[in-house]
Amino acid sequence: MKRILTILLIVLASQTLLPAKKHRPEPHNRPHKPHHGMVENHPRSMGFRIGVTGFDASYQHSFRRNQFLQGDFGVDFGYNANGRPGVRAAATYNFLWARPAWTHRGYWGIYSGPGVTMGYVNDLACYRLGNERLNPYGKKGAYGFMMAFLVNVGLEYTFEFPVTLALEVRPAFGVHFNGGYDRMGEAGEILTRYSGGAGFYENGLLGFVPTFTLRYRF
């Protein structure tokens, strides 16, 4: 019994005298790991995105740990930035697949996922003149319906207070439809009538340019 008590005292003393291991505190906005089979369903963040073609209101909603849905709705300046803007909407399902510890303060995250986008926007247009299909680069774009698949890749940083900054790359690959246009003469007469057509959505490639985002983190 004396030997057992002596061993217990030595173990307790060693645990008490050893310096406590410092654990990095979890952020108040980082969700706890759910029990097996449980599904998280709560708002993640909301804010705005701004890039070379326009800006959007943005909302993220968590469904499972490290998975969230992102919805964006905003204006698109399109190919003709001096004209009236179009409107667009996008939805992506993202997977948070890395949390690198690059800094002592704040929390990093890398995420990516597929999605779709559609809207009524301005883009380089394809026209038809008789049986000839034209793609007039260097001329003004045309407004029309756009639909495309996209890939979203983001790098985010969350401060120790509930604000998140992120850079997102989001190229879109799809089609743009337009109703055609009439080339008018000086007297107002129609010189050439171009019928509408469908072509590759050129502005979707501008998604390779990073977009800045600012969000409030719930």
pLDDT score recorded for residue 26: 47
Question: What are the two backbone dihedrals, phi and then psi, of residue 206, each rounded to the nearest 5 degrees?
Answer: -70, -10
pLDDT score recorded for residue 37: 43
User: Residue 119 is encoded by which pair of tokens?
Assistant: 């809207």
Contact 75, 57 (CB under 8 A): no
Coil vs helix vs strand at 154: strand
Pairing of strands 67-76, 86-98: antiparallel
More confident site: 196 or 92: 92
Average pLDDT of the residues in 137-144: 66
Contact 178, 142 (CB under 8 A): yes
pLDDT score recorded for residue 23: 46
Mind listing the pLDDT tens digit for each residue in 83-130?
788 999 999 999 999 999 999 989 999 999 999 999 999 887 777 666
Cα dihedral sign for 177, 179, 183, 187? negative
Pinpoint the alpha helices (H) of the chain: 2-17
Query: For domain 38-217, is the CATH number 2.20.25.190?
Result: no
Contact 85, 58 (CB under 8 A): no
Alpha carbon distances (Å) from 48 to 39, 68, 72, 166, 168: 27, 17, 8, 10, 12
Average pLDDT of the residues in 126-143: 63
pLDDT score recorded for residue 183: 73
pTM across the whole model: 0.73
Average pLDDT of the residues in 126-145: 66
CA distance 135 to 202: 11
Average pLDDT of the residues in 165-194: 84
pLDDT band with cut points at 50, 70 and 90 for residue 16: very low
pLDDT score recorded for residue 92: 97
pLDDT score recorded for residue 80: 62
Coil vs helix vs strand at 11: helix
Mind listing the pLDDT tens digit for each residue in 17-71?
445 444 444 444 454 444 444 457 888 999 999 998 899 999 999 988 899 999 9
pLDDT score recorded for residue 12: 42
Mind listing the pLDDT tens digit for each residue in 167-180?
999 999 999 988 77
Domain spans of the chain, in order of start: 38-217
CA distance 178 to 125: 7
User: Residue 7 is encoded by which pair of tokens?
Assistant: 């061993």
Contact 148, 198 (CB under 8 A): no
Contact 116, 86 (CB under 8 A): no
